[in-house]
Structure 1
Amino acid sequence: MSWKTGFRSLYYLGAPEPDDPVLVPAQTAILVIDVQNTYLERPDRASLSPQEQHRYDLWTPFHERMHGTVIPNTARLLALARQHGIECLFARIACHTRDGRDRSLSQKMPGWNNLLLPKNDAPSQLVAELQPTGDEIVVTKTTDSALTGTNLRLILHNLGIRNVICCGIFTDQCVSSTVRSLADESYAVIVIEDCCAAATEELHRKELEIINMIYCHVMSSAELCKIMALAK
């Protein structure tokens, strides 16, 4: 099954197959969303209580996917994009204040989302494998959407971007929120399914079905590489 027929919800069963996107390098950007130290750090499992160990184990598939699939594939895409002259952009969650009072309500909700990530602290930084190079742009957001929470809209406009290729975490949260915002601004959006992850595989796949064919097109990194090779 190819990207043209995969990840389809009931809404789009039987819909015509889309054409291959035309990715003019000067009008295309890759946006890597929230692949930050805080989400990849793990404590020593032996030091945890039984309840904490259970939670630790539930998150193990996510960490395996990030280290074995998402980060390596994203690094390869960034390298290819740089070869093609495609803009590489990065977004991260961080607050400008030490106590996080500038965060949006969604970033202050109790529970898992309530992370305090001052912008200069190590947990808020992008992971070592996916660092920007040269003068590549990093935007710092205090909302889920990288478009709503930053001046990214203006940056994309000034760069002449029409196509945005999205990677990152979490598929069902900040990736989805960003994709929807970009689509509402009439950007053509591609989400690379093996360069994204959610807390579980089920959440990841369900969210891709929800956003595919209306807010974006979902494809694999291998499929995108073929399209980029044809555009060279």
Structure 2
Amino acid sequence: MNPLRDTPLTDPAKTALLVVDVQYEVAAFGYGDFAGVTRETLPENRRYYMDRIEKALLPNIRSLQDNLRRVGSEILFTTVENLTDDGRDRSLDYKISGINVRKGSREAQVLDEIGPERDEMRFAKSTSSVFNSTNIEYVLRNLGIERLIIVGLLTDQCVISAVRDACDLGFLVVVPEDCCATYTPERHQWALELTQGYCRLTDTASLLEEIGRMSTDAPRTEA
């Protein structure tokens, strides 16, 4: 237990939620990885994953969003998306792996159920960690963010990459495990075990209690 990392959230203006890659490319029937797939034709080895997204991840993230918006915290999003029409800007790993999400496509958008509202920011990335291919660190510093709640897909890939980089960059990271998902429960648990030294692991219910106690008096930092 670390007293600093385990300190409850207290200041909405210094707290942000980062939603990682909950996008049509990897999380919706009929698009991207699930093009031409319906619930009835979904392969058995992907049923756990899609069920977890629909029954846990989406409603839990939505609850966090609603409550954090109420107290004035920032909500940010990242999705995999090419910056160029032909994807030449992609990382070498993404080119080798065949990850190619067209610029401006539906697949590059956040699922409607938890999408950005008003002027909430979305960062298009071409690496596993959002911190390696976007200016998100610069933006978080400008916003005065110190505490970062990270949720999304996949627990053992882009989520864990963002968690580790955020920690190394000096942010205090919180991960509600029931707001994350990957293809199997074993992979999910393995990833959580690896993140323990980089973040505070919790769940949505506990985090909602903390948010409910946060002061709404602290204004967002302005120049």
Kindly indicate whether residue 210 of structure 2 is the aligned counterpart of residue 227 of structure 1.
yes
2-side partners of 1:79 and 1:16: how far apart?
29
8 Å contact kept, 1:95–1:102: yes
Kindly indicate whether residue 157 of structure 2 is the aligned counterpart of residue 183 of structure 1.
no
2-side partners of 1:84 and 1:178: how far apart?
24
1-side partners of 2:124 and 2:72: how far apart?
23
| Residue in structure 2 matched with residue 121 of structure 1 by the alignment | 105
8 Å contact kept, 2:49–2:183: yes
| Residue in structure 2 matched with residue 9 of structure 1 by the alignment | none
Residue identity over aligned pairs, in percent, reads 35
Kindly indicate whether residue 172 of structure 2 is the aligned counterpart of residue 172 of structure 1.
no
Give the root-mean-square deviation of aligned CA atoms.
Answer: 1.9
Alignment of 1:13-24 (within 5 A): 19-24=6-11
Q: In structure 1, which of residues 58, 83, 98 is the aligned counterpart of residue 85 of structure 2?
A: 98
Q: CA deviation at 1:46?
A: 10
| Residue in structure 1 matched with residue 192 of structure 2 by the alignment | 208
**Partner-residue secondary structure (3-state), 2:131:** coil
* Equivalent AA in structure 1 for residue 133 of structure 2: G
Aligned length: 208
| Residue in structure 2 matched with residue 4 of structure 1 by the alignment | none
* Equivalent AA in structure 1 for residue 85 of structure 2: R
Q: CA deviation at 1:168?
A: 0.3
Distance 1:60 1:228, change over 3 A: same
Alignment of 1:1-232 (within 5 A): 19-40=6-27, 41=29, 42=34, 43-44=36-37, 56-110=43-97, 114-212=98-196, 214-232=197-215
Q: CA deviation at 1:163?
A: 0.4
Q: Which region of structure 1 is more displaced relative to structure 2, 167-176 or 114-123?
A: 114-123
**Partner-residue secondary structure (3-state), 1:95:** coil
2-side partners of 1:73 and 1:23: how far apart?
20
Q: CA deviation at 1:221?
A: 0.5
| Residue in structure 2 matched with residue 11 of structure 1 by the alignment | none
Q: CA deviation at 1:107?
A: 1.2
> Unmatched 5+ residue regions in structure 2?
216-223
| Residue in structure 2 matched with residue 5 of structure 1 by the alignment | none
8 Å contact kept, 2:20–2:78: yes
| Residue in structure 2 matched with residue 3 of structure 1 by the alignment | none
What TM-score do you get using the length of structure 1 for normalisation?
0.84
2-side partners of 1:16 and 1:157: how far apart?
23
